[in-house]
Every structure is written in C-alpha cells, then in structure tokens.
Amino acid sequence: MFETPIVLCIFNRPETTRRVLRVLGAVKPALLMIVADGPRKDRPDDGALCENAQALVRSAVTWPAEVGWNVSSENLGCRKRIQSGLDWVFDRVDSAIILEDDCVPDPSFFPFCRELLQRYRDEPRIGIVSGTNPLVERAAEPRSYLYSRYPLVWGWATWRRTWALYDRDIDGWSDLSTANWLETFLDSPLASAYWRAIFSSARGGADTWDYALVYSLWRAGALAIHPQVNTVRNIGFESQATHTRVPTLAANLPERPLTFPLKHPGRVERNADYDAALEKFLFSGEPQGLLSRARESIRRGRA
C-alpha cells in the first residue's frame, strides 16, 4: 500500500481515466481522493460519460483503500472545479500527489514525489514537485531532478502550505502589470509578453486554474522541482478536451522511469539554462520550428 494521498481529478473521459487507473491499481494508494466535475447542461452525452468515469473508479479500486469523493452535481468548469476540489483536499491532508484524468505516470513518479514531499516539507523555497520534463533528457544534468521557476502540473505534488499561497483571482496583477513587474522578473522579452497575455486572460475570467498557480508561486519566490526525465505522459490532446485540443510539441511525450536512489542537487538553485530553453520551447510564442530546435539543443546539452 502506498501511503501518500493521491488525488485523481475526473470529468467525462472514461477511456483516458481507465489508463490512469491501471497505473494506480499497481501503486495501490491507501487514500485515493476523487475530485469529479458534473455534466454540462448543453452537452446531452455528458451525464452518461461522467457517470461512466466515476463507475470506472469504483470498479477499479479492488485493494483495501479509503476512497474519498468530492463530486459536483453540476458543471463547475476547469477553474472552479479544480480550485474547490483542492480546497477540499488540503482541508483534509497536509500533502498529496495530484493527477488529472489524462495524465498517465510511470510508476517511478510516485516514490519520486513521496520522497521529495518529505525532503522539502519545510522548505518554503520549493512550491511543488512536477512529474513533467518537456525537454526530455538533459545530457548535462547528472542529478535526478533540477529546480525551475515553472510549476508544471501534468502530474504534480504539493503541500497545504503551497495551496495556502494560491491567489485564485490573481488580485494584484493589475498593479504589477502597470509596474512592468514581468519585464523585471523574466529575462526574455518574448516570455514576458507571453505571460502578460496569460495573466491578463486569467484575471479576465478564463476557465483555467493553473496560471494562477504560476503567478502565486512567482510572487512567493518559490520554485518547482522537475525530474531529469519525463515521468508523466499527457494523453489528453484531442478534440473533446477542454483546453488541449490541438497537439503541441509537449503532447504525448513518453513517460520514462527514474532511477533510485535519487541523486539530489547540492543546493536549492534555479537552473537558469533549463528555464531559458523551456521558455523557448513552451512559453514564448516562438514559431514551432524554433521550438523544435530549442528542444534538440537542450537534448544535446548545449542550451
């Protein structure tokens, strides 16, 4: 039995949910917490699909687990459902591993998160543990993980203390935007422009919750941990997805196993070269050809 609480966020995709549950069945969490959104009123198929996804969970848990349910009878949308669901989670537990229904982890993702949740429990410079490394392997990275300014949430883990920092409505953004805070905080003008548009969209009510997490951790000066290899595959890029309808270079990157025991970095220090390459790859709006070259460069350890 795996003792660290695991949260699974589900909606209306039973087939992707089934693939995540297969991995959870091998891990056998002692506490599985389900956050489920309800059907949309304008989508007649949603009711049955949501029920099927929930039924899959009930039939898949054949080990002696405690299963907690937080189910919305109506559709809250991605933003409010994840926010309210994680409020419920961290009212009950101090730390947790969080997966959505389209994020399929390698089994090594779980002990990786468990060990680092314990190691950095009281370290305010660390905000979350990510399971994703969109740049795949870095030849120049000898340790099991590195520190980044980017909290990636395709499979992640965090603490109640981090969720307490979460500014769901990014209330201070208007003042910071006027003061050109991003242009001071980020090194790349392209990345600054990208995140300026993102935060303005989130402030304007866009149905997403994760941009507020980025904003909150940046304001708190907290870093994310990224594994040396990509340990979680996002299989959710499809026409029925809420946000990931068009495949990107980060879609369906294969999950890889980590090697144990973990090799820890000597000190908590952001890897600026990695972040610069990640900005080119995902967070700058550069053309796809440039992004491909950035990924290839970081693979060869030159970025």
* Residue spans per domain, the chain: 1-101, 106-303
- Report the pLDDT value the prediction gives residue 290, as an integer from 0 to 100: 41
- Report the pLDDT value the prediction gives residue 232, as an integer from 0 to 100: 97
Residues 208-226 as b or e (16 or more Cβ within 10 Å = b)? bbbbbbbbbbbbbebbbbb
- Report the pLDDT value the prediction gives residue 292, as an integer from 0 to 100: 42
- Report the pLDDT value the prediction gives residue 140, as an integer from 0 to 100: 60
1-101 to CATH, choices 3.30.70, 1.20.1740, 1.10.3470, 3.40.50: 3.40.50
Helices (H), the chain: 14-27, 46-60, 77-92, 109-119, 160-163, 173-178, 181-185, 189-203, 210-220, 272-282, 288-299
- Report the pLDDT value the prediction gives residue 240, as an integer from 0 to 100: 53
Q: Which amino acid is at 210?
A: D
What is the model's pTM?
0.90
- Report the pLDDT value the prediction gives residue 281, as an integer from 0 to 100: 85
For the chain of 303 residues, list the mean pLDDT of each consecutive stretch of 10: 97 97 98 98 96 98 97 97 98 98 97 98 98 77 93 98 97 94 94 95 93 97 96 78 51 90 97 92 63 38 33
- Report the pLDDT value the prediction gives residue 244, as an integer from 0 to 100: 46
Residues 257-292 as b or e (16 or more Cβ within 10 Å = b)? ebeeebeeeeeeeebebbbbbbbbbbbbebeeeebe
Q: Cα–Cα–Cα angle for 171, 271, 105, nearest 5°?
A: 80
CB 45 within 8 A of CB 121: no
